[in-house]
Amino acid sequence: TVLVVDYGAQYAQLIARRVREAHVYSEIVPGDTPVEEIVARKPAALILSGGPSSVYEPGAPVVDPELFTSGVPVLGLCYGFQAMARALGGEVAPDGTREYGRTELTVTEPGALHGGLPQRHPVWMSHGDSVVRAPEGFTVTASSERAKVAAFEDVERRLAGVQYHPEVGHSPHGQDVLARFLHEVAGIAPGWTTSSIIDETVAAVRKQVGDGRAICGLSGGVDSAVAAALVQRAIGDRLTCVFVDHGLLRSGERRQVERDFVAATGANLHTVDAADRFLSALAGVTDPEQKRKIIGREFIRVFEAATGEVAAEEHVGFLVQGTLYPDVVESGGGSGTATIKSHHNVGGLPDDLEFSLVEPLRALFKDEVRKVGAELGLPPAIVNRQPFPGPGLGIRIIGEVTADRLETLRAADAIAREELTVAGLDASIWQCPVVLLADVRSVGVQGDGRTYGHPIVLRPVSSEDAMTADWSRLPYELLERISTRITNEVAEVNRVVLDVTSKPPGTIEWE
């Protein structure tokens, strides 16, 4: 394991992903983790992340010099590079040298990190101070206009550092530099591949579950599908999958789970058809938060009743969840496995039913989850699925949710999705909510007659993480095709409008 020591950079997760792209497993540890604790984990190497712009800033994280004498190979990036220089007796000038963004790097000595790279190439810088003298024993290997010492290495001691950010896409040779550090300086053999992930996870699940039984809720989304497929591979039909159809799914999604997921995995699937129940609970409700509460509450009740039924037949001790590594990092969680007690507010669950959690994706990033899913044979429609909110189409009908309105929205949504796929845009847009303004009517004309129908809103967005988003500039021809098809094929709709609001101030969904 390579440990990425996080000094508060927004880049720590990106660094960890890049290390894994070089086929080496990596995890993130907080910057204040004691050195003994880090060394006790026997890391194959450490990568110190960037952080605040100056090592002289009050409250700047302290890098313990013992990190560099423990014998573990270390690569310092940006802040980590400066901290390394300082800890080992080099000199960092608090001169407010500023260099932000794309910068040209000059390789002055190919060395271990930059061997084989062009002598001049662009890198991404973001620093206030700069290293003016490398520590004893280090060779300076690169410079930039404002940073005389932009990289150094001591191959003997397996220590190296760069002032720039090799992990970002704006440093086109950055991945090479990381890989060279890992493979050549630290001497780590690449072994982290999709098939090794599958083998290790399957073995771990087998060990955890023993000859017990597990249950997994499927949402139709990629995480729960891949988690279930992994557990299925590990314990076969001792896994039961429960799929709650709340009637708020998009066209074809139930079939994807019932037919395609089962065909790919051979999983035992228990579908609960709860559409009527959700519709009655939502009758007359128009407030978005109220809708969310009702859908969330009903979902838990239905899911628990179903798991209770399954678990009552034969003792089920394990509940599978699709928790991903970023959730683990963000909640400050370690590698422990929690036990949860199911809150059973409906009959059906034995009183003392407790599940141990099985979280087969706990070490994985989303892109790794998709690769694992593909290798396990899940269809592209499942592994490449865009984010879809838990409350489903319930929060994409502005106004009361009824069966007829759901049918209208489902038809319009299916057309938009189909055309986006045909145009090859699935990978470049983050998601495209299609929204029915059910309480709005406008006048139109179709054939010889006046119509008085509802508008459909298209909300295509690009985003990195859904926290911020921009509206996608879809080609006019594509918009035209979607508009023509929806107004021709969906009887209740006589207008298609495009949402051109970024987030903020808008949100991605309309409710």
Could you give the residue numbers annotated as active site? 78, 165, 167
- Nearest CA among 387, 388, 400 for reference residue 288: 400
Query: 222 vs 316, which CB is nearer to ligand XMP?
Result: 222
The answer to whether residues 188 and 42 touch, using CB atoms and an 8 Å cutoff, is no
* Residue 426 found at the interface with ligand XMP (CB under 6 A): no
Query: 224 vs 494, which CB is nearer to ligand XMP?
Result: 224
* Residue 292 found at the interface with ligand XMP (CB under 6 A): yes
Binding mask 453-492 for ligand XMP (x = CB under 6 A): -------------x--------------------------
Helix axis angle for 194-209 and 222-235, nearest 10°, is: 60
Q: Which of 159, 369, 397, 508 binds ligand XMP (CB under 6 A)?
A: 508
Q: Which of 157, 170, 183, 503 binds ligand XMP (CB under 6 A)?
A: 503
Query: 451 vs 507, which CB is nearer to ligand XMP?
Result: 507
- Nearest CA among 379, 495, 482 for reference residue 425: 482
CA dist., res. 222 & res. 228, Å (int): 10
* Residue 63 found at the interface with ligand XMP (CB under 6 A): no
Q: What is the gyration radius of the CA atoms in the chain, in angstroms?
A: 27
CA dist., res. 136 & res. 315, Å (int): 64
The answer to whether residues 508 and 388 touch, using CB atoms and an 8 Å cutoff, is no
448 is in an annotated binding site: no
331 is in an annotated binding site: no
225 is in an annotated binding site: yes
* Residue 509 found at the interface with ligand XMP (CB under 6 A): yes
Provide the minimum distance between the beta carbon of 369 and ligand XMP in the complex, in angstroms, as a whole number.
Answer: 16
| Ranges within 341-400 binding ligand XMP (CB under 6 A) | 387, 389-391
224 is in an annotated binding site: yes
Provide the minimum distance between the beta carbon of 433 and ligand XMP in the complex, in angstroms, as a whole number.
Answer: 7
221 is in an annotated binding site: yes
What Å distances lie between residue 102 and 21, 77, 121, 171, 307, CA to CA?
Answer: 23, 16, 10, 8, 54
What sign does the dihedral 127-133-134-135 (CA atoms) show?
negative
54 is in an annotated binding site: no
The answer to whether residues 166 and 178 touch, using CB atoms and an 8 Å cutoff, is yes
HEC secondary structure over 421-460: HHCCCCCCCCECCEEEECCCCEEEEECCEEEEEEEEEECC
234 is in an annotated binding site: no
Query: 52 vs 390, which CB is nearer to ligand XMP?
Result: 390
Query: 202 vs 361, which CB is nearer to ligand XMP?
Result: 361
Q: Which of 256, 265, 323, 431 binds ligand XMP (CB under 6 A)?
A: 431
Provide the minimum distance between the beta carbon of 216 and ligand XMP in the complex, in angstroms, as a whole number.
Answer: 17
What Å distances lie between residue 437 and 206, 388, 444, CA to CA?
Answer: 49, 19, 15
- Nearest CA among 335, 377, 432 for reference residue 225: 377
* Residue 148 found at the interface with ligand XMP (CB under 6 A): no
Annotated binding-site positions: 219-225
Residues at the interface with ligand XMP (CB under 6 A):
292, 387, 389-391, 431, 466, 503, 507-509
